[in-house]
């Protein structure tokens, strides 16, 4: 019996992209080496995996709900929420968000009645914010157009619900409604590629089609939801990306990557050539083989595109009060990255410090509706936050106001206390910005004392590095 592993290891849900709708038939050009051609082998594989799952599965709140909830719509809703949250996010992170979400909106009708601001607020910190918005849009649609009933089949789920792709549709249909349909996520991809020694690019149309076909062939007709969860659980806890626990694996006896490793070891020790049979395998192409990687030669790692570099200047505009300070937040546009979330005012980065400062102060004046002193603007350092496809650098400034500005704030701007900031729909990057600001020494009512640059240092200068070093020190370090 294997030791239980920490919840959250190896979460591999991908945010769903449109996947070509491939036929469940086995592609004719795939070699039998990558198939389960024998019905008896399929039956034994299912039995091994399910019996392991029954003993070793992690106790997760969405699993409890799916098992205990008698109402099919409530059950499907709870699976739907968990599957959307798990896309690109570790299980350990999701547990708290899921629990809070289900306490606040235990049924689809509750979510349909919530505002987007409330959804963003609860989602803050989980990333990929469009997921929460899509969930809420889906809840509206079910309540207003589908009579409050979630579609019962994978095809209809994918067709009718926003943000529900092929994987999520299959997961909801099999777990909540018992539809016999296989699923393929990142974990299942890894398990299947290893079990059937598939070494070609798992993102290619041929391999994608083959994996869905295998998943459909393997799914247990009596327990489809459990089987799909078992395959994902195996990938998350045993057949992990870098350190698979092969001796503890319930399907080791079916695993062709294990056999490939043994064969490669024999080839090395006996200095034999590879068998011609495997050289011609169409979805294998696991070349060059790396001896040190063993079974983790499968699946092939796709070439990663480096994230795009982007820079912006952001200002923590603070208004001092007799009891508590307040910060200016502005709302992002309703579409695009971090849509509808609140952040400190920002402008795109400029080439020179002087232009940067003027641009930033001009934007701040627009927000607060009054004059602001350029020379009081201090540069604090840089914060880097990596989104899925963007490496965003924020050059962080601060401007502290002694008095309340006279002008009225336009819509989409508001002053918040620190406590309100923490509870607001604010992205993680802005929380990092606030932490950098709070790591600075108090400068109440004072401009920078730097003799070289009364306005403080500019982006990229040595001072920034010093500031950042200070920021990363433990709070107790003097």
Q: Which is nearer to ligand SF4, 48 or 216 (CB)?
A: 48
Q: How far apart are CA 139 and CA 142, in angstroms?
A: 5
Site string for ligand SF4, 286-325 (x = CB under 6 A): ---------x------------------------------
Would you count residue 430 as binding ligand SF4 (CB under 6 A)?
no
Is 83 part of the annotated catalytic residue set?
yes
Would you count residue 169 as binding ligand SF4 (CB under 6 A)?
no
> Which residues ranging from 185 to 214 are in contact with ligand SF4 (CB under 6 A)?
191, 194-195
Q: Which is nearer to ligand SF4, 79 or 283 (CB)?
A: 283
Minimum distance, C-beta of residue 245 to ligand SF4, in the bound complex (Å): 6
Would you count residue 258 as binding ligand SF4 (CB under 6 A)?
yes
Q: How far apart are CA 239 and CA 299, in angstroms?
A: 11
Beta-ladder partners of 362: none
Q: Which of 31, 48, 88, 252 binds ligand SF4 (CB under 6 A)?
A: 252
- The answer to whether the beta carbons of residues 283 and 30 sit under 8 Å apart is yes
Q: Which of 83, 284, 343, 353 is catalytic?
A: 83
Q: Which of 257, 376, 393, 467 binds ligand SF4 (CB under 6 A)?
A: 257
Number of residues that bind ligand SF4 (CB under 6 A): 14
> Which residues ranging from 360 to 379 are in contact with ligand SF4 (CB under 6 A)?
none
SS (H, E, C) the chain: CCCCCCCCCCCCECCCCCCCCCCCCCCCCCCHHHCCCCHHHHHHHHHHHHHHHHHHCCCCHHHHHHHHCCCHHHHHHHHHHHHHHHECCCHHHHHHHHHHHHHHCCCHHHHHCCCHHHHHHHHCCCCCCHHHHHHHHHHHHHHHHCCCCCCCCHHHHHHHCCCCCHHHHHHHHHHHHCCCCCCCCHHHHHHHHHHCCCCCCCCCHHHHHHHHHHHHHHCCCCCHHHHHHHHHHHHHHCCCCCCCCHHHCCCHHHCHHHHHHHHHHHHHHHCCCCCHHHHCCCCCCCCCCCHHHHHHHCCCCCCCCCCEEEEEEEEEEEECCCCCCEEEEEECCCCCCCCCCEECCEEECCCCHHHHHHHHHHHHHHHHCCCCCHHHCEEEEEEEEECCCEEEEEEEEEEEECCCCCCCCCCCEEEECHHHHHHCCCCHHHHHHHHHHHCCCCCCCCCCCCCCCCCCCCCCCHHHHHHHHHHHCCCCCC
Minimum distance, C-beta of residue 2 to ligand SF4, in the bound complex (Å): 11
Q: Which of 119, 142, 238, 361 binds ligand SF4 (CB under 6 A)?
A: 238
Minimum distance, C-beta of residue 193 to ligand SF4, in the bound complex (Å): 9
Q: Which is nearer to ligand SF4, 253 or 321 (CB)?
A: 253
Q: Which is nearer to ligand SF4, 42 or 246 (CB)?
A: 246
Q: Which stretch binds ligand SF4 (CB under 6 A): 165-173, 252-260, 301-309, 363-371?
A: 252-260
Q: Which is nearer to ligand SF4, 198 or 249 (CB)?
A: 249
Q: Return the half-sphere exposure (C-beta side, CA atoms, 13 A cut-off) of residue 104.
A: 17
Q: Which of 138, 170, 182, 244 binds ligand SF4 (CB under 6 A)?
A: 244
Would you count residue 237 as binding ligand SF4 (CB under 6 A)?
no
Minimum distance, C-beta of residue 249 to ligand SF4, in the bound complex (Å): 3
Would you count residue 48 as binding ligand SF4 (CB under 6 A)?
no
- The answer to whether the beta carbons of residues 371 and 403 sit under 8 Å apart is no
Q: Which is nearer to ligand SF4, 119 or 236 (CB)?
A: 236
Minimum distance, C-beta of residue 309 to ligand SF4, in the bound complex (Å): 37
Q: Which is nearer to ligand SF4, 246 or 312 (CB)?
A: 246
Q: Which of 102, 169, 211, 239 binds ligand SF4 (CB under 6 A)?
A: 239
Q: Which is nearer to ligand SF4, 206 or 245 (CB)?
A: 245
Minimum distance, C-beta of residue 9 to ligand SF4, in the bound complex (Å): 13
Active site residue ranges: 83
Q: Footprint of ligand SF4 on this chain (CB under 6 A)?
A: 191, 194-195, 238-239, 244, 246, 249, 251-252, 255, 257-258, 295
């Amino acid at each position: 019996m294997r030791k239980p592993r920490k919840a959250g290891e190896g979460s591999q849900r991908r945010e769903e992209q449109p996947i070509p709708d491939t036929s469940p038939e086995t592609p004719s050009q795939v070699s039998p080496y990558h198939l389960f051609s024998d019905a008896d082998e399929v039956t034994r594989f299912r039995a091994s995996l399910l019996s392991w799952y029954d003993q070793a599965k992690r106790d997760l709140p969405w699993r409890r709900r799916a098992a205990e909830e008698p109402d099919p719509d409530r059950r499907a809703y709870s699976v739907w929420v968990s599957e959307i949250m798990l896309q690109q996010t570790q299980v350990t992170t999701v547990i708290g968000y899921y629990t809070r979400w289900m306490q606040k909106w235990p049924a689809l009708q509750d979510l349909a009645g919530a505002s987007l601001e409330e959804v963003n607020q609860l989602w803050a910190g989980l990333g990929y914010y469009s997921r929460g918005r899509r969930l809420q849009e889906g809840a509206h649609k079910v309540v207003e157009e589908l009579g409050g009933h979630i579609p019962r089949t994978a095809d209809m789920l994918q067709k009718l619900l926003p943000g529900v792709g092929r994987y999520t549709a299959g997961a909801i249909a099999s777990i909540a409604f018992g539809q016999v349909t296989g699923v393929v996520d990142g974990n299942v991809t890894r398990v299947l590629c290893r079990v059937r020694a598939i070494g070609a690019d798992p993102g290619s149309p041929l391999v994608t089609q083959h994996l869905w076909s295998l998943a459909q062939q393997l799914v247990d007709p009596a327990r489809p939801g459990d089987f799909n969860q078992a395959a994902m659980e195996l990938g998350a806890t045993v057949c992990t990306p870098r350190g698979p626990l092969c001796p503890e694996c319930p399907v080791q006896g079916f695993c062709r990557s294990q056999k490939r490793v043994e064969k490669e070891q024999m080839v090395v020790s006996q200095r034999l050539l590879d068998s011609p049979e495997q050289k011609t395998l169409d979805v294998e192409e696991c070349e060059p083989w790396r001896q040190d990687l063993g079974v983790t030669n499968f699946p092939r790692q796709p070439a990663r595109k480096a994230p795009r570099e982007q820079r912006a200047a952001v200002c923590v505009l603070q208004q001092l009060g007799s009891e508590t300070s307040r910060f200016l937040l502005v709302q992002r546009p309703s579409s695009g990255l971090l849509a509808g979330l609140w952040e400190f005012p920002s402008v795109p980065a400029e080439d020179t410090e002087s232009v940067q400062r003027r641009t930033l102060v001009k934007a701040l004046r627009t927000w607060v509706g009054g004059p602001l002193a350029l020379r009081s603007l201090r540069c604090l350092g840089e914060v880097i936050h990596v989104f899925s496809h963007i490496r965003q650098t924020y050059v962080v400034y601060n401007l502290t106001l002694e008095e309340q500005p006279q002008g009225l704030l336009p819509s989409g701007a508001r002053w918040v206390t620190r406590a309100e900031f923490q509870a607001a729909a604010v992205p993680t990057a802005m929380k990092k910005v606030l932490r950098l600001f709070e790591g600075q020494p108090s400068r109440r009512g004072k401009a920078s004392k730097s003799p070289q640059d009364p306005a403080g240092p500019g982006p990229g200068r040595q001072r920034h590095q010093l500031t950042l070093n200070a920021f990363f020190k433990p709070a107790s370090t003097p």
